[in-house]
């Protein structure tokens, strides 16, 4: 079993486990429709965010990212064997500063040092901030499948289909 020790400190951030009292912090960004546009769920209510914080405090695959005591986003890092799947959502107030890159890089480095061999990620071509982040992390695009992912509908109720991109990075040996 891979053992990534939290917390991890970077020059500007603290990566830590979620706590049951992170509900308000999660609500601050997961209630924003634009922030969750490419996620497989809609904006969270305050009650849902509080329940989510409780659940994440027990889960191993979510990492809270804090800056100066404020929850600014989270990483999803689901480890299966020697491979992990990476995901991320950051508060719009803290995007555009390199914090997601800094956080994901620190977590991936810790995981590779602990024995992980491969990290994968999926995102939509229509979400360039996401695939630009993956490319900043040195990940390689391994597939591009048009019209293959649908989480949401438009205002008229029509399904929105996106192009699914798959990325990966392997530990250098």
Return residues touching ligand COA (CB under 6 A). Answer: 35, 38-39, 88-90, 95-101, 123, 127, 129-130, 132-133, 136
Which CB atom, from 35 or from 120, has the smaller least distance to ligand COA? 35
Least spacing, CB of residue 173 vs ligand COA, in Å: 27
Least spacing, CB of residue 101 vs ligand COA, in Å: 3
Which CB atom, from 10 or from 54, has the smaller least distance to ligand COA? 10
Least spacing, CB of residue 88 vs ligand COA, in Å: 5
Which CB atom, from 20 or from 70, has the smaller least distance to ligand COA? 70
Which CB atom, from 48 or from 95, has the smaller least distance to ligand COA? 95
Least spacing, CB of residue 99 vs ligand COA, in Å: 4
Helices 46-58 and 23-30, interaxial angle, to 10°? 120
Closest listed residue to residue 117, CA positions, set 39, 52, 173, 71: 173
Least spacing, CB of residue 60 vs ligand COA, in Å: 20
Q: What does residue 134 show for φ and ψ, rounded to 5 degrees? A: -60, -35
CB atoms under 10 Å from CB of 61, counted, come to 14
Which CB atom, from 79 or from 100, has the smaller least distance to ligand COA? 100
- From CA 91, how far away is CA 88, in angstroms rounded? 10
- From CA 8, how far away is CA 95, in angstroms rounded? 20
Cis, bond preceding 7 (omega within 30 deg of 0)? yes
- From CA 3, how far away is CA 110, in angstroms rounded? 9
């Amino acid at each position: 079993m891979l053992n990534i020790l939290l917390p991890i400190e970077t020059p500007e951030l603290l990566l830590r486990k979620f706590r049951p009292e992170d509900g308000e912090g999660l609500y601050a960004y997961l209630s924003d429709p634009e922030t969750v546009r490419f996620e497989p769920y809609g904006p969270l209510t305050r009650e849902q965010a509080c329940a989510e914080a409780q659940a994440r405090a027990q889960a191993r695959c979510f990492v809270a990212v804090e800056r100066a005591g404020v929850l600014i986003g989270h990483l999803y890092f689901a480890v299966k064997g020697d491979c992990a799947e990476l995901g991320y959502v950051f508060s719009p107030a803290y995007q555009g500063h390199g914090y997601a890159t800094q956080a994901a890089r620190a977590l991936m480095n810790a995981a590779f040092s602990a024995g992980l061999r491969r990290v994968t990620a999926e995102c939509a071509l229509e979400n360039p901030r996401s695939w630009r982040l993956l490319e900043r992390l040195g990940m390689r695009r391994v597939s591009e499948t048009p019209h293959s992912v649908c989480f949401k509908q438009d205002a008229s109720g029509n399904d929105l289909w996106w192009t699914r991109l798959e990325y990966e990075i392997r530990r250098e040996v």
